Structure 1
């Protein structure tokens, strides 16, 4: 149904002039801009004049004119204007314009024209605001998709170490990183894969934003893992970031999460190195087990040295510990006993407590190790070689992975 035309004057013409007062419209736009926090009144474009003419002519805004406001919304989103401020600008302009409209100014002569004018203004404002919002939201979705794509590309380039260094340094600040300083990387895996936009990712990001460390941080995903790249000027910064990640992820028993953290390194190359170390630490942490779900590459340096030549490490384990397979129950019980005994500094009582065994049982197993291997682990001069073999065995997941 078309909107009724306003009451006509004596000669049948609309009540009031068809030409708006330019100065008056400029004043309305300026006041509306003030209402909207100083937003550029130019964003109104011809809205005030269009509403004026729509009221005088008793019609709706044309589809072409409404489409123009959709474009205004898109431009505002691209320029970073808040949608609330944009809508406030238009709504304030509409109510401020109301008292200056011809039918309202001549309400005493033609009171019925005020009702019609109100309908036209409300309809025109509704159409304009709907178009602004639609254009704004479409542009914002496009911007978000573009930003997500740029972020993903940056993360892939940063962790792969294949992109040009000057380009990475230029792009890094847009993603919250200053690569001129040392950074470390934490890699987390859980029972369910981490994906962009999931709650844990957002929660870790929010938690790190409140960090007191001298750390900027980038939280992303890579191959189903949660990856945190953060500034690490000292050990305290690393500890704080790891503590906050633990707080967000909660007990490891809940989601079966484990993490690895690499050593800090300078520049983009330091990030790549720390990322690779974090991945290896995570893998070693899985093999070694233990109560702490976070494996630190700094604490695992000895394993990296042992595994640098895997063939030599395997030969060390097989030569030193291979005969334990012939013992009762296989090699695993003896390996556990050796590990506990060496970790307790050669104290059989402490080793028994750790293993929940009697001292006699530990002593018996150590004697069997000597009988099977020809090496007496209770002798100080033999402990270094045995301990190296035990560490290598754990790193190689021996004997489970032995062929």
Structure 2
């Protein structure tokens, strides 16, 4: 520390002898000394205490000069700290982009710097704020939206939210267990698959940070860098599926929605099913939507018409009438186990394909 503060001591001695305050060049030297102290890992407290201790050997102590030199030392130290933080944040953003896009350039080595051991199994949780457009993970089709992007203030708010949530998770689970970042307009949390409680903690902080209407999508546990990419895409797609299906739950697990990608994998078959089973509903008075909503309520209520009526806000008699209307138009009844499965699959397919708003070929 003495070699860093040699110029500081000379300035104080000169000020004591002449009464002259340090000039711009001398204060710049102090700022450079403060920055070097920060780069070497010295604490700001140790820096200031060393500067004050040196001042005690100068008589009379030139307090105005001391005030300026110490202020310059601290300014240089703080500027170096801010610069290091900006560089760290830039490196973090680059690493997250590379990790979630599967770019493998020195990925494992860089991951260790941020506390991740990519040979393990990881789960990715994705959080989207209320009112944001649906975001589809790259490589899975669909249109990309933006939860935070498109406005500098919102983007800055997202980074601040990510830092606060990560600080809270690190305080509980340690720096080698979680990574929180902003990606594609959403908050992304990467945590070990064995640390299942981390997902619940992340969701808790999301609930506190976001207005009602937020969603969290949880990918499945996968191993290695490629597994992180897969889990991220699963989490993002779970949110998209929740929107398309009108699901009410704010937290959606990819493991609970595996049937839907299977349905979409053979689009021609699901389009044929929707057209064959549900197209007669287009002839219903008032359109097909009330009948589709009734079927969804019946399926969600395990066939209980009274519970379905409460969900819909109509009378039980209205539900009975609508189900009879569906049976007459389509030839299918949810009271029959085989026909119920066909109807439910067709209704799910209709929601996935946004039918009838988007007519099928």
Q: Structure 1 length as normaliser, TM-score? A: 0.75
| Offset from partner CA, 1:144-191 (integer Å, 9 cap, x none) | 221221111111101111233xx1111123324332322222222223
Q: Counterparts of 1:167-316 in structure 2 under 5 Å? A: 167-190=106-129, 191=131, 193=148, 195-196=155-156, 198=158, 199-211=160-172, 216-233=177-194, 235-249=196-210, 252=212, 256-316=213-273
Partner SS, residue 260 of structure 1? strand
Which string of whole-angstrom CA distances, capped at 9 and with x for unpartnered residues, describes residues 13-41 of structure 1?
xxxxxxxxxxxxxxxxxxxxxxxxxxx44
Q: Please name the residue that 2:65 is paired with.
A: 124
1:149 aligns with 2:111: no
How far, CA to CA, are the matches of 2:161 and 2:199 in structure 1? 20
**Relative contact order higher in (CA < 8 Å, ≥ 6 apart):** 2
User: How far apart in 2 are the matches of 1:260 and 1:51?
Assistant: 61
Query: What do the CA deviations read for 1:343-383 (whole angstroms, capped 9, x no partner)?
Result: 33333333333323333222221221121112233212212
Aligned-partner SS, 1:298: helix
Residues 115 and 175 of structure 2 are in contact (CA less than 8 Å); yes or no, is this contact kept in structure 1? no
Larger of the two Rg values belongs to structure: 1
Paired position in structure 2 for 1:356 = 313
RMSD of aligned alpha carbons: 2.6
Give the distance between the partners of 2:34 and 2:237, measured in 1 at CA: 49
Number of residue pairs matched by the alignment:
338
Which structure 2 residues correspond to residues 39-188 of structure 1 after superposition, within 5 A? 40-52=1-13, 54-56=15-17, 59-61=20-22, 64-95=25-56, 97-98=57-58, 101=59, 117-118=60-61, 121-164=62-105, 167-188=106-127
Equivalents in 1 of 2:305, 2:24: separation in Å? 89
Q: 2:124–2:235: 8 Å Cα contact kept in structure 1? A: yes
- CA distance in 1 between partners of 2:335 and 2:176 (Å): 47
Q: CA deviation at 1:303?
A: 1.1
> Taking structure 1 as reference, are residues 215 and 55 closer, same or farther at Cα in structure 2, changes over 3 Å only?
closer
1:346 and 2:306 matched? no
Distance 1:179 1:56 in 2: 62
| CA separation of 1:382 and 1:214: change in aligned 2, threshold 3 A | farther
- Match of 2:255, SS state, is coil
d(CA) in 2 for partners of 1:195, 1:149: 14
Question: Any gaps of 5 or more consecutive residues in structure 2?
Answer: 132-146, 149-153
Looking at structure 1, the residues matched to 197 and 352 of structure 2 have their Cα atoms a distance apart, in angstroms, of 28
Tell me: CA distance 1:350–1:138, structure 2 relative to 1, closer, same or farther (3 Å). closer
Gaps of 5+ in 1: 1-39, 102-116
Q: Structure 1 stretches (4+) deviating beyond 6 angstroms?
A: none
Aligned to 1:134, what secondary structure does the other structure show? helix
Instruction: Output the CA distance in 1 between the equivalents of 2:294 and 2:279.
Output: 15
